[in-house]
Amino acid sequence: MKEGTLTPEEVMAHLTSRLSGGIRDTSIRKWEQGRKKVPHYTLWVDLERDFLKPAIRALMEIQFPHLSVIAGADLGDAIRLLYIFSVQYGSPKSEYMVTFAIALPKSDLTVPTISDLIPGAVFSEREKQEFFGIRVTGIPDSRRLFLPEDFPEGVFPWRKDETGVPEGMVRELWESKRPKDRPAPPVKEKGPGTAGGETPAASAPAGGSAKEGER
């Protein structure tokens, strides 16, 4: 690990020096927060797939990074994965978000696991397998994480193509009614215009008029 904290430009220079030939694009984005306009930075590195693990190793040379999430999107002809890290966390004004972006063509939806470098990544990798249909090679646990075991094979909820959720599987819950084979709810259902199922109170006592001063 490097001594001291690095500027965003120094972090980016370190990454590009380690990843020659594997970078498609880079950018450093800055925004300011609060009345004091405290600057914050995010670093974006668009990578070739084979350079994903070398990129993480290069980040680890600065400080062991915190993996925030692995995000993804269906781009039509490819699935894009975003590996979002924070580095130098705990350092005032020097903690940066670093995103490594890779694109997987749908003809070859494979990506190596990074769980050998960051063990906790396996949960997000399992999620991407079942929701996007990618294959994480070398993953130590490939079980489903969210979808039930009887969920149809070959259907991936986050895909926008023919492998996405078909219309026949979509239920309009707002059209559903209470099943007749279930017991009645323990609490009386609310009626329209009432609170808690109670009858609205009258505006004046029955048989009388409003009190003096309330007219």
Q: Please write the tens of the pLDDT for every residue from 26-61.
A: 999 998 888 888 888 999 999 999 999 999 999 999
If pLDDT is split at 50, 70 and 90, which confidence band does 3 have? low
- Write down the pLDDT at residue 206: 52
If pLDDT is split at 50, 70 and 90, which confidence band does 215 have? very low
Question: For the domain 8-175, what is the CATH code?
Answer: 3.30.460.80
Q: What is the pLDDT of residues 131-161, one digit of tens each?
A: 999 999 999 999 999 999 899 999 999 999 9
Residue 67 near residue 83, CB atoms below 8 Å? yes
Whether residue 212 is predicted with pLDDT greater than 70 in this model: the reply is no
- Write down the pLDDT at residue 109: 98
Domain ranges of the chain: 8-175
State how far the Cα of 67 lies from the Cα of 86, in Å rounded to an integer. Answer: 7
- Write down the pLDDT at residue 102: 98
* Average pLDDT value for residue range 84-88: 94
If pLDDT is split at 50, 70 and 90, which confidence band does 174 have? low
Give the containing element (helix H, strand E) for 129: helix 121-132
What's the whole-number average pLDDT of the chain? Answer: 87
Whether residue 111 is predicted with pLDDT greater than 60 in this model: the reply is yes
Selection from 80, 105, 85, 103 nearest residue 42 by Cα? 85
Candidate from 1-15, 21-35, 167-181 with smallest mean pLDDT: 167-181
Whether residue 185 is predicted with pLDDT greater than 50 in this model: the reply is yes
Predicted structure pTM score: 0.77
If pLDDT is split at 50, 70 and 90, which confidence band does 99 have? very high
If pLDDT is split at 50, 70 and 90, which confidence band does 103 have? very high
Selection from 96, 94, 156, 99 nearest residue 128 by Cα? 156
State how far the Cα of 125 lies from the Cα of 197, in Å rounded to an integer. Answer: 47
What is the residue-wise DSSP string for 44-104? EEEE-GGGHHHHHHHHHHHSPPEEEEEEEEE-SSEEEEEEEEEESTTSTT--EEEEEEEEE
Q: Count of CB atoms within 10 A of residue 12's CB?
A: 20
